[in-house]
Amino acid sequence: LQPTADQLNAEGQTIEAKTANMTPEAMRADAALKAEVTAYANKAQQFSIDRQIAAGELQLTERKAWSDFFTALRPVLQEVVNERGAHIMLDRSQVTYTDPTVDVSGLVISKLDASTPTISVVRQKLPTQPPAQ
């Protein structure tokens, strides 16, 4: 998106430079300028749509990656709970204090690394909608 943003910025500056010393009446009377401004506005609108789509796809991709991560983590947590005879496992961010001997973070990480060294993150696409009629 950055090259498009840079191009739009340059086009906008060009239009501003052309119109800097023009009266509103002169701008309205210049058919070529009106066409240029309309084309610029259309490009800017499409860029805004493209940016929203990219943001939505990034959000979907992040959500899917986290879902895949937690799917891989769940059996590892269950294994550690079974090994330790635990009845509860808490996220470290939810605990004010704990004895370091009960912290199993390192164990969970090493087991997760062994069972799932990588999680593939694939860009998710937003469903395409048919054009409005």
Q: What is the pLDDT along the chain (133 residues), one digit of tens a residue?
A: 899 999 999 999 999 999 999 999 999 999 999 999 999 999 999 999 999 999 999 999 999 999 999 999 999 999 999 999 998 888 888 888 888 888 899 999 999 999 999 999 999 999 887 666 6
Judge contact between 40 and 15, C-beta under 8 A: yes
Core vs surface per residue 58-97: b (16+ CB within 10 A) or e: eeeeeeeeeeeeeeebeebbeebeeeeeeeeeeeeeeeee
Locate 84 and state its tokens. 């330790």
Whose structure tokens read 């701008």? 27
pTM of structure = 0.71
